[in-house]
Chain A
């Protein structure tokens, strides 16, 4: 007897939505939503032991001394300063619009894509003590970052006529070369040093 061809049973699609909801729930739960954001810094490498570090490599007038003490007070060049004034003080120190000899000097440098440009030799020396609170420290870091970001923005507008964020990669590199973040941090005096 010739067998009748069996029909394929229909697969019920009602469960599909369940499965997709399940997957949705799973990924919702496992993915962490918090976006990590923060202030980026590059630490200076430790110099080799046998290398002699020339102490006065940077001239005194090129250094802006920023100190956050144990009571979270901020002083700039040994004068107590309000946090709100720090950004302007840093910008003025780096820019030095009146060529004040007590502030940072400039050196003509060849910037690719821009040409010769007076680049400030300013270094900001940020110091703290062991009992400074992290919050105060980061607020100061934030203000200094803001100072550099605003300087870069101004330079970008002046040279390329656009905001720093809208520049292309090579233009951005050029601006970063002009205003390189030079924040030097020496560890607090009593930091453990001689551990191997």
Chain B
């Protein structure tokens, strides 16, 4: 019967790509929701001062960031408005810097360790007392290369 001879010479059907866009968008949303960007969650206000003689940071991967400033508005209910030090994602004290620096240094290649730089992102209204404490602690940790973050003026 004609019904059973239909298979002969039939081409493989090309598959439809119409839904590919949907799949791709689902993937996009998935990654948008799940990726947490490093250094993104800044909990202190770091409104850095302006300076004209700024220089670029040459190796970003050898840089450890320390943020100092008053907690942002949403954190003030819990932490007040006093100047705080933020390492990674949480508020810490000057004494925690030592372990923080040591941990970062451990993660670096042996030959890169002398080039480790500490970038200090400090709010311009911060008092120098805190900054001096941090600098003294960095001296004790042998993390001598520092950079005061600043915006380029002019």
Contact = CB atoms under 8 A, between A and B. Distances in A.
A133 B130 CA distance: 10
Contacts of A133: 124-128
A145 B14 CA distance: 68
Nearest to A9: B14
Contacts of A128: 128, 132
Interface stretch (A25-33, A74-82, A155-163): A25-33
Interface residues of B, number: 62
A187 to B, nearest CB: 5
Contacts of B55: 37-40
Interface of A: 4, 6-7, 9-10, 12, 14-15, 18-19, 22, 25-26, 29-30, 32, 35-46, 128-135, 137-139, 141-142, 145-146, 149, 187-188, 190-193, 195
Contacts of A26: 28, 31
Contacts of B32: 29
Given A26-B28, A39-B51, A133-B127, A18 B149 contact: no
Contacts of A193: 136
Q: Which of A29, A36, A45, A191 has the most B CB atoms < 10 Å from its CB?
A: A36
A9 B49 contact: no
Contacts of A141: 51, 148
Given A46-B140, A137-B131, A30 B35 contact: yes
29 contacts: A12-B17, A14-B20, A15-B17, A18-B20, A18-B21, A22-B25, A32-B39, A35-B56, A36-B119, A37-B56, A37-B150, A38-B51, A38-B54, A41-B147, A42-B145, A42-B146, A130-B127, A131-B127, A132-B127, A134-B128, A135-B124, A137-B131, A138-B124, A141-B148, A146-B53, A187-B136, A188-B129, A190-B129, A191-B129
A130 B129 contact: yes
Contacts of A145: 51, 53
Contact of A42 (B12, B56, B144, B149): B144
B60 interface: yes
Contacts of A44: 139, 144
B128 A130 contact: yes
A94 to B, nearest CB: 16
B76 interface: no
